[in-house]
Structure 1
Amino acid sequence: MNERRLHPFTVLRFLRKTLVVYLLPLVQVLFERNWTALHTALRQDALLFLLLCAVSWGILRVSSWSMDDTGVFHLYWRLGIRLDRALRGEMLAALTIDRPLLYRMAGASRLTLYPVGAVQKHTLSVCLPKADAEAVADQLMPLVNPTLHRPAGGERAALGFLGANGLSTLALFVLAVRQTRDVPDWNPAVFAQIQVNFLAQFAARWLPAGAAWLLAAAGFLLGASLMRSFAQTVHYTVWHTADQIGSRGGWLGHFECRVRTSEISFADVRISPAARLMKRWPVFVTAGGCSPELPLFVYRSGEEALFRELLPEFRMPPDLLARTEQRSLIFFAPAGIPFALCLLLTLVSATVLPQLTVTLLIPTLFFGALLAGAAAGYRREGLWLREGRMTLRRQQGLYLHCICVFHPDVCLTAAQSPWAASVGRTNLTLTFPGWVKLKVRSVPLRDAENFFRFMETN
């Protein structure tokens, strides 16, 4: 059993957390604004940087890892205190291999191991060379006769929204520049070239420069998010074996996830307005403390064959409206309060400061959309037993989560306020291994009791 060194990028997390230490000496410069203070701050930063480099060198020098003949992964840490960890493949609920662009350039991979039942902060994350990370993953969770799939739904959906967002953001940006500069001889051919002349002329009648810049900034941030999503879904591959399910993909950065099927806590189909428009549904899987931000796969409406093959035990909640009699209005509070405040400010500005009215309409519409999502949750959120599976729907913002519970080790907690007890309702919280929690609000007490009886008999 030969011990090997960790990749030098292991200390990046340490250096990132100590970034504030470099900034402290520069605070004096901001107040004094003189070259002497700047020289002193730079000298202090240089000394701190050398000190942290020495600590980073010590971390790399005294830390190592190894794989023994029985397939056990060992991590050794001997800086100040001695801490050794050992993990077998049978102890893992999932593992991920993350290779952002910077890591790829340096030939590094971030390997994260999720022990069964461990919370997110107790996972084991190490930075290894690419070949070593793949070898460790194959030793701990080997892929035996995998069946591969190439779903293209997520890639096409992200590309479509990216193109639409790019056109609208470019139109708003040109409009903002036009209204800010107010050039008389502005050439309208700029709009014709990007085929958004009509959109820009229509918006120019209603949007002042401030609102146009605000929308352009929001569109730019949304475009950056969509670009990231598109880059992550390029060359996406999904596989399943007798005891595993996983996916890999990415363009600039690579990501791979392997999940042990027997340790899946729940599967989540997230329905958003964009998903409804494209009719492509992303499926997320949580196992222990592993909750990847990328969907396991995306399937198209009407083509559920891949879904049934990858997760044959999944059951969608029934397409029924929840019981809303005497349901709590707490659903509307998080979005309703800021919506009412923004609406009041908009109405006041219409008579006091009309030039801000359109700008104030933007956050009003935003919170109005969240309020519409809350109304959907008020009508749709609930829990049901279907074909021997616990299923539930819960609303978060604009996302409606359709969830099927897989893992039998789930803790149910019912919490009632005096008002909820008087009307026979309760908040039900499901706690899974890894302390992952799901909360369903204002559930009829008889439905919660059915869940408790189902768990007792199963």
Structure 2
Amino acid sequence: MTEKQLHPFAALQIFRKTLVLYLVPLVNVLFERNWEALRAALRQDIVLFLLVCGVSWVILRASSWSLDENGTLCLHWKLLFRFDRTVRGASLAALTIERPFYFRLAGASRVTLYPMGEPKKRTLTLCLTKGDAAQLADQLLPVEAPSLHRPKGGERAALGLLGANGLSTLALFLLAIRQSRQGPDRYELAFAQINFLAGLAARWLPTGAAWLLAFAGFLLGLSLIRSFVQTVHYEVWHTADQIGSSGGWLDRFEIRVKTAEISYADVRLSPFARLLRRWPVFVTAGGCSPELPLFVYRSGEEALFRELLPEFRMPPDLLARTEQRSLIFFAPAGIPFALCALLTLISVYTLPSLTVTLLFPTVFFAAGLAGGMMGYRREGVWLRDGQLTLRRQRGIYLHSICVFHPDLCLTANQSPWAANVDRTNLTFAFPGRVKLTVRSVPWRDAQKCFEFLENPLRR
């Protein structure tokens, strides 16, 4: 078992955490506004930079890692005292390999290990060379005879649109539909919207708000491009005991998840997903929650879905019982919506130039209020085909969730008002300290969930 050094890019994490230190000396420059203060600030920044470089060199020299033939990783620290952390491949719930563009230029990879039951802050991240990262992943979570699936055409477009970049989807959804029908280059098409947004802002908004809107449109365009770039060379695969995906163009990524350690699978339904008739599926294992969906399947074509996750069951297509249900669903968006709507009405008579500007937050919170209405009508828990399923509303997303992991903690929280109407909030706590809360559930439905989890023969 040979000890190996970390990649020098491991020091980037130290530089990122100390970035604020370089900005502190520049604060005086903002107040003094003279060249002497600037030179003094630069001298202090140079001293801090050299100090951090020295600390980084010491850490790199004192750190090493080794991997034995049994698939056990050991991270070593030898400076003044010895510290070792050991992770066995059998104890992992998931593993990710990330290679951002600047990492690829230096031949580096960032490997993150997710031990079973550990929260996200207890994950282990290593910066290794490309070859060492591949060797480590193959030793800890080997992939044997995988079945591959590569999304194409509309499925790939939906994968990019329905990922975590919700704002891109919200602002540029119609743009993406136009692209898929007419076929212009996606990069040119995204940037072409900047001129349109700038013209719209200049016509209707005050100068400051116009600049903010144009800048926001620019960022949204970049975000949409990033979503599509992530889907280049994307593929999803599964074996007898694992499921995973890989892809990316400028930034490469790979994820490997043990099927037995999946806490839950989440189908996120948004208004745009309903229009596309394609459902993105996310999985969570321990503290690992990938940014992109594992795959996207078309409504009515669940063959791949059943092949990858045969135990998954969607919650029944039923409306939740709303009699005497709590109005807490409307509070997060309803209160700011009422305030913005009131300010908008007042501005019509007192300051008409701000009316259009105030309409933007009003519409934003109105969308959140519509999401609250969806949660009021659809949120709940059900048992279906021996699986515990639930729906919960967050923003404009309705999460349809199937619970996989049997080792979870279920908590019922009742206020005096909820107890009076036989309702409760259910909180599901999964390994990795991941929690899901379903609000205002009828107590008889909660009792069924407790009875199901207490049954030792449920699996």
TM-score, structure 1 normalization: 0.91
The CA distance in 1 between the partners of 2:348 and 2:200, in whole Å, is 23
Q: Counterpart of 1:185?
A: none
Alignment of 1:147-226 (within 5 A): 147-152=147-152, 153-157=154-158, 158=160, 161=173, 163=176, 166=190, 168-176=193-201, 179=203, 213-226=211-224
- What letter is aligned with 2:12? L
* 1:218-367 aligned within 5 A: 218-367=216-365
Q: Helix, strand or coil: the match of 1:5? A: coil
Q: Corresponding residue for 1:47?
A: 47
The answer for the alignment partner of 2:447 in structure 1 is: 449
1:282–1:79 distance in 2 versus 1, CA, 3 Å: farther
Structure-2 change in CA distance of 1:82 and 1:147 (3 Å):
same
> Which residue does the alignment assign to 1:29?
29
Check conservation: 1:265, 1:286, Cα contact below 8 A: yes
CA contact (8 A) 1:266 1:407 kept: yes
Compared CA separation, residues 80 and 360, structure 1 to 2 (3 A): farther
| 2:383 corresponds to 1:379 | no
By how many angstroms is 1:254 displaced? 0.6
Task: Name the CA shift for 1:21/1:212 in 2 (closer, same or farther; >3 Å).
Answer: closer
* Distance (Å, rounded) in 2 between the aligned partners of 1:444 and 1:226: 41
Distance in 2 separating the partners of 1:284 and 1:326: 33
Deviation at 1:392, TM superposition (A): 0.2
Letter in 2 for 1:55: V
1:15 maps to: 15
What secondary structure sits across from 2:268 in the alignment? strand
SS for the counterpart of 2:300 is: coil
Q: Name the CA distance, whole Å, in 2 between partners of 1:120 and 1:443.
A: 29
**Does structure 2 retain, via aligned residues, the 8 Å contact 1:172–1:213?**
no
One-letter identity of the residue aligned with 1:92 = L
- Looking at structure 1, the residues matched to 210 and 376 of structure 2 have their Cα atoms a distance apart, in angstroms, of 34
- Residue 432 (structure 1) aligns with: 430
Report the number of matched residues: 431
Alignment partners' CA distance in 1, 2:419 and 2:136: 53
- Percent identical among aligned pairs is 70
Residues 81 and 246 (structure 1), Cα distance of their counterparts in 2 relative to 1, 3 Å cut: same
Q: 1:277 to 1:168 in 2, by over 3 A?
A: farther
Partner of 2:182: none
Could you tell me how far 1:420 is from its partner in structure 2? 0.3
**Aligned residue in 1 for 2:107:** 107
> Secondary structure, in 3 states, of the residue corresponding to 2:313?
coil
Question: For 1:210-267, what per-residue CA distance to the aligned partner results, in whole angstroms no more than 9, with x for missing partners?
Answer: 6655543333232222111111112110110010000001111011000001101000
Aligned counterparts of 1:154 and 1:336: Cα–Cα separation in 2:
35
1: CA distance, partners of 2:26 / 2:214: 33
Which structure 2 segments of 5+ residues have no match? 162-171, 179-188
Change in 2 beyond 3 A, CA 1:213/1:419: same
What CA distance in whole angstroms lies between the structure 1 residues aligned with 2:343 and 2:374? 26
Structure 1 segments unaligned to the other structure (5+ residues): 180-205
Q: CA deviation at 1:300?
A: 1.4
Out of 406, 410, 418, the residue aligned to residue 416 of structure 2 is 418
Instruction: Confirm or deny: 8 A CA contact 2:201 2:213 kept in the other structure.
Output: no
TM normalised by structure 2 equals: 0.90
Contact 1:210 / 1:359 at 8 angstroms: preserved in 2? no
Secondary structure (helix, strand or coil) at the match of 1:4 reads coil
Deviation, 1:34, is 2.1
Larger radius of gyration, structure 1 or 2?
1
The question of whether the paired residues in 2 share the 8 Å contact of 1:92 and 1:114 is answered with: yes
State the partner residue of 1:392: 390
Deviates more, 1:261-270 or 1:23-32: 23-32
Q: Distance in 2 between matches of 1:100 and 1:428?
A: 39
CA distance in 2, matches of 1:271, 1:341: 28
Q: In 2, distance between residues paired with 1:78 and 1:170?
A: 57
- Residue type at the aligned position of 1:57: W
Q: 1:195 corresponds to which residue?
A: none
CA distance in 2 between partners of 1:386 and 1:217 (Å): 47
Distance 1:358 1:176 in 2: 10
Q: Which moved more, 1:35-44 or 1:117-126?
A: 35-44
Tell me, yes or no, if the aligned pair for 1:236 and 1:250 is still in contact at 8 Å: yes
Q: Is the 8 A contact 1:383 1:447 kept in 2?
A: yes
Deviations 1:346-389 (A, max 9, x none): 00000001111111111101100110011001000001000000
Change (3 A) 1:81 1:106: same
Higher mean alpha-carbon deviation, 134-143 vs 219-228, is at 219-228
Residues in 2 aligned to 1:116 and 1:22: alpha-carbon distance in whole angstroms: 38
Partners in 2 of 1:248 and 1:59 — Cα distance? 31
> What letter is aligned with 1:122?
R
Determine the C-alpha separation between the residues in 2 that align with 1:211 and 1:49.
38
Partner residue, 1:125: 125
Letter aligned with residue 258 of structure 2:
R
Amino acid at match of 1:155: R
Q: Which residue of 2 aligns with 1:6?
A: 6
Backbone CA RMSD of aligned residues: 1.7
Q: Report the CA distance between 1:136 and its aligned residue.
A: 0.4
CA contact 1:211–1:362 (8 Å) conserved in 2? no
